[in-house]
């Protein structure tokens, strides 16, 4: 069975100049990959007909399925439909169900309907219309020379709605795809090159249909095994055996056997033990709290945070001693210990994390350079502390401090 391939074309000058970040492609690629469609190219083009037509030619020569987002709005710079009309032929026609839905949307909100709004119901008669139940511009499904082309709005929730309601089921029905299965191990504490050395023999014995990818991220190294096969059950079984072997080789640095954020990893451990946690943050300014509460259901185990950015607030809210700050400074083991002890009382939790550091770009000294971070994690019975020397920009230093703090507590749990 041959591999089914796809290309993703995103349209919009705002993507090319960095004004808007393309999150659509990542989501579409995940959905396609999960059903065995291999995304081999992602292309961004500007709002010109020539660029769109060229991209359609190039991607249709390389892929079975071409997904297009953007350029379907009501303004003059939205030129995707005229380009598609030229590429696939036909004439523009009014799609009655879309027009009716559009009129109802405006009437229900008491808004006037402009001609440019009505024109959003115009589609080339060479397409199959995909109703957009989350917005105004419909999706369009074309077929040409054995290839499938789908045009959708660039608004993420509208695109996701059309993909889920129409595109993915139709692709599943029309294409016979191979099984593509991933399994990811999260690790922390050892650099990519050192992990690669440890896995040298393991990687050499992998079957031809199973590949290992190294994916570094802030404070973590993700190791993804990908298996490709004709049968999902047997492919998954073969992948599981290899994954277990890799996991045993990295038991000392393994964090979790699923590709989820560290906040979710920590939450699962807390839920399993029926324990609660709180945070006392200085240098991260609430980022650890954000990482934990980004997970649905975190209220079951997360009590809250005390963000004490100034020394005065460390003293007032957490009970850090003036003498401790005078003798050791805010960025010190003694201070984070007292921050943690104070947070346990103030937040009434089983566990706590406390951090204080110098994130940069200024504020460092020869004794405590930029990137110096102290972390405390634990309970009333056992607080562990660790010092890190980070070497990155402010944003990355903050994110890595959060990852390291949550991982210290995970290890205790």
State percent of the chain over pLDDT 70: 100
Would you state the pLDDT for residue 1?
58
Are both 25 and 138 inside the same structural domain?
A: yes
Q: What is the CATH number of the domain that holds 146?
A: 3.40.980.10
CATH number at residue 247: 3.30.70.2860
* Of the candidates 373, 378, 379, 369, the residue with the CA atom closest to the CA atom of residue 398: 373
Span 290-315, pLDDT tens digits: 999 999 999 999 999 999 999 999 99
Number of Cβ within 10 Å of residue 159's Cβ equals 24
Phi, psi values for residue 156, rounded to 5°: -55, -45
Cβ-Cβ contacts under 8 Å for 397 (sequence gap 6 or more):
283, 357, 359, 360, 370, 371, 373, 390
- Is there a single domain that holds both residue 29 and residue 160? yes
Query: pLDDT digits over 230-249, tens only?
Result: 888 999 999 999 999 999 99
Is the same domain home to 316 and 333?
yes
pLDDT, mean of residues 84-96: 96
pLDDT for 34 equals 87
- Residues listed for the chain: 413
Alpha helices of 49-188 — where are they, by DSSP H?
Answer: 49-62, 80-88, 96-108, 115-118, 156-162, 168-174
If you average pLDDT over residues 203-215, what whole number do you get? 96
Average pLDDT over residues 185-210: 96
Q: Which domain CATH number covers 350?
A: 3.90.950.20
Query: Which range (110-114, 340-344, 389-393) has the least confidence?
Result: 110-114
Taking the model in full, what pTM does it have? Answer: 0.81
Is pLDDT at 149 greater than 70 in this prediction? yes
Q: In terms of domains, do 186 and 138 share one?
A: no
Same domain? For 85 and 117 the reply is yes
Last-in-domain residue among 174, 193, 215: 174
Q: What is the mean pLDDT of residues 336-355?
A: 98
Q: Do 198 and 214 lie in a common domain?
A: yes
Q: Looking at 221, 256, 291, which one is the last position of a domain?
A: 256
> Residue 130 forms beta bridges with which residues?
139
**Overall domain count for the chain:** 3
Measuring CA to CA, how many Å separate 361 from each of 133, 251, 365?
Answer: 47, 36, 12
Shared-domain flag, residues 33 and 119 = yes
Same domain, 223 and 237: yes
- Residue range of the domain that includes 19: 4-174
Q: What is the mean pLDDT of residues 202-215?
A: 96
Q: Mean pLDDT for the chain?
A: 95
Q: What angle do CA 350, 276, 256 make, to 5 degrees?
A: 110
Beta-bridge mates of residue 214: 223
Which stretches of 250-383 are DSSP H helices?
262-273, 287-293, 311-318, 322-328, 333-347
pLDDT above 90 coverage of the chain, percent? 89
């Amino acid at each position: 069975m041959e591999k089914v391939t796809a290309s993703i074309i995103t349209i919009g000058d705002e993507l090319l100049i960095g004004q808007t970040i393309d999150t659509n492609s990542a989501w579409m690629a995940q959905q396609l990959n999960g059903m065995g469609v291999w995304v081999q190219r992602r292309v961004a083009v500007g709002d010109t007909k020539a660029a769109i037509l060229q991209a359609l030619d190039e991607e249709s020569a390389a892929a079975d399925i071409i997904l297009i987002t953007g350029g379907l709005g009501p303004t003059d710079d939205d030129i995707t439909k005229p380009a598609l009309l030229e590429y696939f032929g036909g004439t523009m026609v009014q799609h009655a169900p879309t027009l009716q839905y559009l009129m109802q949307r405006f009437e229900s909100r008491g808004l006037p309907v402009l001609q440019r709004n009505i024109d959003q119901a115009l589609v080339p008669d060479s397409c199959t219309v995909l109703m957009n139940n989350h917005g105004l511009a419909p999706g369009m499904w074309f077929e040409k020379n054995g290839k499938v082309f789908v045009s959708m709005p660039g608004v993420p929730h509208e695109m996701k709605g059309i993909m889920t309601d129409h595109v993915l089921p139709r692709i599943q029905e029309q294409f016979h795809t191979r099984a593509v299965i991933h399994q990811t191990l999260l690790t922390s504490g050892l650099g990519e090159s050192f992990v690669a050395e440890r896995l040298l023999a393991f990687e050499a014995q992998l079957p031809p249909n199973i590949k290992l990818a190294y994916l570094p991220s802030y404070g973590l190294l993700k190791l993804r095994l990908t298996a490709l096969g004709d049968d999902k059950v047997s492919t998954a079984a073969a992948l599981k055996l290899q994954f277990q072997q890799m996991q045993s080789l990295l038991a000392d640095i393994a964090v979790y056997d699923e590709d989820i954020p560290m906040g979710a990893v920590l939450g699962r451990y807390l839920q399993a033990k029926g324990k609660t946690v709180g945070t006392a943050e200085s240098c991260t300014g609430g980022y650890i709290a954000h990482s934990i509460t980004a997970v649905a259901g975190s209220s079951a185990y997360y009590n809250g945070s005390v963000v004490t950015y100034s020394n005065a607030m460390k003293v007032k809210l957490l009970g850090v001693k003036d003498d401790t700050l005078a003798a050791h400074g805010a960025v010190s083991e003694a201070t984070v210990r007292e921050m943690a002890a104070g947070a346990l009382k103030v937040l009434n939790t089983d566990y706590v994390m406390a951090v204080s550091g110098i994130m940069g770009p200024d504020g460092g000294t020869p004794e405590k350079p930029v990137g110096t971070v102290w972390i405390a994690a634990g309970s009333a019975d056992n607080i562990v502390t660790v010092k890190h020397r980070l070497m990155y920009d402010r944003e990355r230093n903050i994110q890595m401090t959060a990852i390291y703090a949550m991982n210290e507590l995970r290890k205790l749990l």
